[in-house]
Amino acid sequence: MARIVIDPVTRVGGHLRVELDVTSGAVTDAWTSGTMFRGIELNLRGRDPRDVWMLAERICGTCTGVHALASVRAVENALGITIPVNARLVRNLLSGTQLVRDHVVGFYQAQLPDWVDAKSAITADPSATARLAATVAQRANATTEAFQAVRDRLEAVVNSKQAGVLGTGWWGHPAYRLSPEQNLLLLAHFLEALDWQRDFMRIHALLGGKDPHPQTYLVGGMAVAPPWGGPTGAVGRDHPTVPDRNAPMPLSTDGLTLVDTLLTSARDFVDQVFVPDVRLLLGAYPEWAKIGAGPGSYLSAGDLPDSSAKDPQFLFPTGRLATGNLAASLPVEQDTIAESVAASWYSYANTADGLVAAVTGETTPAWGGLALPLKTLEGAKKYSWIKAARYEGIPMEVGPLARLLVAVANGRAELGAALAEQMAPVGLTLDTLPGVAGRILARSVEAVVVIRQAATWLADLRTNLGTGDVAVADITFWDPASWPKETHGYSLGEGARGTVAHWVTIRDRTVVDYQVVDASTWNASPRDSVNGHGPIEAALASVAIADPARPLEALRVVHSFSPCGACAAHVFGPRATPGEGTR
């Protein structure tokens, strides 16, 4: 038995370490360790509840805006605020576009180097690559010259002494299987995706005012307001003229046209590049459908609402699936989400390693005193800054795959059809979906669905603004004098990478307690009190590792979850004690 240490795990958010026990070329046990703790919770306490979303947003800069939205929703829930239609649509546009962007970048920038060999790509024949590209999708820029140029660029870095991020890879590893032309095609799209995502995220710069970390959220709605007189109205008396056509005002006719243009080009990118590339990749690596299945239990909190009212219909429905029964969707209750610190560097006041409900969660960091530099976690009972989120004591996989399986179990035909359409060409079925291939496919399915839905939100927004409804924020409860002395709120939702839940307690106009459980608290969790493995740890079991010095196969499994150590490690607030304000 040999111990393999992967630290840092690259191409993830935050800081992640993975250790593997490998016997006869296969993983026999695995540990995922978050190696960063920031303690933002102390800073959330004592703040104005209308302010906390900005700091909560900084939990993650990769899933930008996700925690801002979760936070304003939690405070709105506590104060009983219903946001206007326009605000809901703008929020959906922001989080929907974030989801599509995250899925694309997660595939190209985070995952592709696990599957594509850059050194092989520079031996490709550009004209053969152009012919290959033509069989995948008809695109004007897929010319021999274009692929020649990409090949030259890659060659310049791969053969250079200055190798850069793409120059040093585990190139030549036996697990790479694509032809030189396939490699070149996908790497050309790697570069194209970089340009595309930048352009696409102008939607966030426009509607969010800033990107990353959009800054137009408000408790009660959005700060982005339509021009005086509605979308077609003049921008404003005495308002300076718009400096350039490139930068219209957000909810003006020109602004919405810009959003429309970017959504359309994103749909083209998803349809003509992302989906075909996923198909090409999974077609070339069919055995990865059976590798990395995970715990088999799934959770989706539901998100992208079609109404601001109490019980909206979500684009992605709420539900929970137990291992072995993917047909029955079970209910999700926020107060049943709990956490264990049995294997995490924290201590609980009243239980050594039992579960504590997140709604009353506590965090006292307690570094385990391991010798630094850390050689191995072997023998350490506590080994991560990430806590272990559990539902009824059971680890849950969250994320795109979980959402789609829950949607199918809820009988959501449109999502089921989109899924079936992409499963068939690569030979996947609902039974073989749990696994690395299924997780990758789930991202492209969601991208297809959400980018189309985004066009609907935009149309609804135009229609609604056109009726003269220009409200963007409900400020009935903006004044703290209108708040109760003490109130509690929560939000359950879905970011690109999985379930995000926030809990807030407001007392005397101040946040006294704040809790977060997000996607990586589930997926990248360590062992719990009954030694149950976290989902990534479970998925790594029995994965074959061809070369212990280059554990490429393990990276494929880890990256299929899009883990983020920044989000997960962790942000739970200790219970505030009276009079213990920080400011």
Q: Which of residues 143-162 bind another protein (CB under 8 A)?
A: 149, 152-157, 159-162
Binds another protein by CB under 8 A, chosen from 128, 223, 330, 394: 223
* Pair 107, 100: CB distance under 8 Å: no
Which residue from 21, 29, 109, 336 is in contact with another protein, where contact means CB under 8 A? 109
The H-or-E segment that residue 218 falls in is strand 217-218
CA distances from 566 to 13, 222, 480, 575 (A): 6, 26, 32, 22
Please give the size of the binding site for another protein, defined by CB under 8 A: 126
Peptide bond preceding 563: is omega within 30 degrees of 0, i.e. cis?
no
Within 55-94, the residues that bind another protein by CB under 8 A are 55, 58-62, 64
Which one of residues 246, 350, 467, 531 is an interface residue with another protein (CB under 8 A)? Answer: 246
Q: Which stretch binds another protein (CB under 8 A): 201-209, 388-396, 412-420, 533-541?
A: 201-209
23 burial via Cβ count (<10 Å: 0-12, 13-18, 19+): exposed
Candidate residues 131, 134, 172, 194; the one interacting with another protein per rule CB under 8 A: 194
Closest CA to 172 of 446, 576, 547: 547
Q: Cβ distance 39 to 12 under 8 Å?
A: no
Within residues 6-45, the interface with another protein by CB under 8 A covers 6-15, 17, 35-40, 42-43, 45
Longest dimension (CA), the chain: 75
Both tokens assigned to 35: 């190696």
Rounded CA separation 33/362 (Å)? 20
Tokens 């021009």 identify what position? 227
Least Cβ distance, residue 218 to another protein (angstroms)? 6
Give me the least distance between CB of 470 and another protein, in Å please.
7
Distance in angstroms (rounded) separating the CA atoms of residues 121 and 116: 8
Which one of 73, 103, 189, 204 is in contact with another protein (CB under 8 A)?
Answer: 204
What's 373-409 look like in SS3? CCCCCCCCCCCECECEEEECCECCECCHHHHHHHHHH
C-beta of 336 vs 376, nearer to another protein: 376
- Residue 154 CB partners (closer than 8 Å, separation 6+): 118, 121, 122, 166, 184, 187
Q: Give the position of tokens 């699936």.
A: 321
Q: Does 296 bind another protein (CB under 8 A)?
A: no
Taking residues 112 to 131 in sequence order and writing x for each that binds another protein by CB under 8 A, - otherwise, the string is: -x----x-------------
Q: Which residues, numbered 341-400, are part of the site for another protein (CB under 8 A)?
A: 345, 365, 367, 370, 372-375, 385
Among 247, 284, 380, 394, binds another protein (CB under 8 A): 247
Tokens encoding 138: 């008809």
Question: Of 510-549, which residues contact another protein (CB under 8 A)?
Answer: none
Closest distance to another protein from the beta carbon of 496 (Å): 13
Q: Which stretch binds another protein (CB under 8 A): 24-32, 209-217, 400-408, 416-424?
A: 209-217
What string marks each residue from 250 to 289 as x (binds another protein by CB under 8 A) or -? x-------x-------------------------------
Closer to another protein by CB, 117 or 434: give it: 117
Residue nearer to another protein on the CB measure, 178 or 409: 178
On the CB side of 553, how many CA atoms lie within 13 Å of its CA? 26
Asked if residues 492 and 74 have their Cβ atoms less than 8 Å apart, the reply is no
Instruction: Pick out residues in 465-504 that bind another protein (CB under 8 A).
Output: 470-473, 475, 478
Please state the closest distance from residue 380 (CB atom) to another protein, in A: 12
Indicate the residue among 109 and 323 with the shorter CB distance to another protein: 109
The answer to whether residue 215 forms part of the interface with another protein (CB under 8 A) is yes
Residue from 29, 51, 260, 306 in contact with another protein (CB under 8 A): 51
Q: By the 8 A CB rule, do 59 and 44 touch?
A: no
CA neighbor of 35 nearest in space, from 17, 19, 59? 17
Say if CB 13 and CB 566 are below 8 A apart. Answer: yes
Among residues 322 and 475, whose Cβ is nearest to another protein? Answer: 475
Q: State which residue, 330 or 475, has the beta carbon closest to another protein.
A: 475
CB nearer another protein, residue 212 or residue 416: 212
